Chains A and B, each alone.
Chain A
Amino acid sequence: MAQQDSWEFGTKDKRTRFEEVMLPHMDAAFNLARWLTRNDSDAQDVAQEAYLRAFKFFTGFRGDNSRSWLLQIVRNTFYTWLEKNRREEAVITFDETIEDLQSGAAAPDARMVEEADSEALRQAIEALPVEFREVLVMRELEGMAYKEIAYVADLPLGTVMSRLARARLQLRKCLIDRLGKKD
């Protein structure tokens, strides 16, 4: 009879409103969590935890971009989870300049990248440092604008573009390395 109980005093109202606004973004939440954790069951834990946190803070949600709001919580939940689980994550090294990346990525055959299969792409994206991976996933898979990515990842707008630039160049380099080894 919980359903009837909650009717009277507004708890159902909050949950119903939350579900209407936030449940449609479950794919986005899981997709981001999946690419961050690189693991199905960890991704489910992070996404679920993020939904519960979001529910707790939902009363304070006033914005009009519910997806970004939720994804910001997913991202924060992930970093908390990462700290707790002490997984070794690759740290970004800024030794390589964009020029280095560009010159190193001269493909013997330009069509190689174009014909890369999705498994090779998946591995190459997963090999990216997490700071690059997250902006790439938000841009290429979630189709988010720089402004939204800046909000979710708490970055200045200009940094979104430079991270994305590095992410793509490194991804391309990694892809070519892998494809080159396979042949």
Chain B
Amino acid sequence: MVCRDISELIHGYLDGELDLSRSLEIEHHMEGCPTCSRAYAEQKSLRSAIARSPLYREAPSELRRRVRTELRRAARSESPSRLRWGWRVLWAPLGVTALALLAVLAIMTRPSAESPLTDEIVSAHIRSLMPGHLIDIPSSDRHTVKPWFNGRLDFSPPVQDLADRGFPLIGGRLDYVSGRPVAAVVYQRRQHVINLFIWPAGGAASPSEETLSRQGYHVVSWSQVGMTYCAVSDVSPADLDEFVRLLRAPG
């Protein structure tokens, strides 16, 4: 190999982009060629000068804000409102019919419901997924969602933000379960919705910790520090378990 061939390959060598045999050839050549080994040393020092300097330009927060705003606008314009209303009109009766069918099926197939609370939770979850029922207070900020329940409930439900763990908070809602108003804190896992129902333990039926499935939905319930929790979703059982584990983790 002659210097002419080496001059470019030195850069592949510097970047660790050459295969072993090529690298060995370069090393062998440089051992006997002061010109090429000097060129290599020069490039190494140029690279370390670059690495030492604060040249990387991080995105300004203004850009982050602008992009988020524009994306929201773009997402809205991708679903024109006429179409949205069309779908809504179409889906609402379908949802009602489906729910009625489910209820009939549930009664027919399980005359002696082994856990009426679980059924009630799943029904509340399905109801919440019907258009316009999911969220009373849309917010990803727990400091907005938690105070919202003040004055609406006679207890203060704990609200956590798990966005950095893949379960972003999207809002809260009042619901009615087991004969009392309860807090529903709504999270999201990819395109799935997770409802977390919370009410004071003892006041209503408090289930022992258990995992149940109904109609393709999974329900995990437990009690902790005086509160009863029921998490329900159509995410995979593994995802729901992960969600519960994060919620139950201290801190």
Residue in B42, B59, B78 whose CB lies within 8 Å of A11? B78
Q: Which residues of chain B from 61 to 95 have a CB within 8 Å of any chain A CB? A: 62-64, 66-68, 70-72, 74-76, 78-79, 83-84, 87-88, 91
Residue in B15, B41, B59, B190 whose CB lies within 8 Å of A47? B59
The answer on a CB contact under 8 Å between A99 and B58 is: no
What is the total number of residues of chain A having a CB less than 8 Å from a CB of chain B? 64
The answer on a CB contact under 8 Å between B59 and A51 is: no
Using CB atoms and an 8 Å cutoff, list the residues of chain B in contact with chain A: 4, 7-12, 15, 17, 39, 41-43, 45-60, 62-64, 66-68, 70-72, 74-76, 78-79, 83-84, 87-88, 91, 131-132, 134-135, 138, 168, 170-171, 188, 190-191
Of all chain A residues, the one with the shortest Cβ separation from B13 is A161
Using CB atoms and an 8 Å cutoff, list the residues of chain A in contact with chain B: 1-19, 23, 26-27, 29-31, 34-35, 40, 43-44, 47-48, 51-52, 55-56, 98-99, 102, 105, 107, 110, 113-118, 121-122, 125, 139-141, 145-146, 161-162, 164-165, 168, 171-172, 175
Chain B nearest CB, measured from A19 CB (Å)? 7
Which residues of chain B are near A15, meaning CB under 8 Å?
71-72, 74-75
The answer on a CB contact under 8 Å between B75 and A7 is: no
Which residues of chain B are near A27, meaning CB under 8 Å?
56, 58-59
The answer on a CB contact under 8 Å between A145 and B17 is: yes
The answer on a CB contact under 8 Å between B57 and A30 is: yes
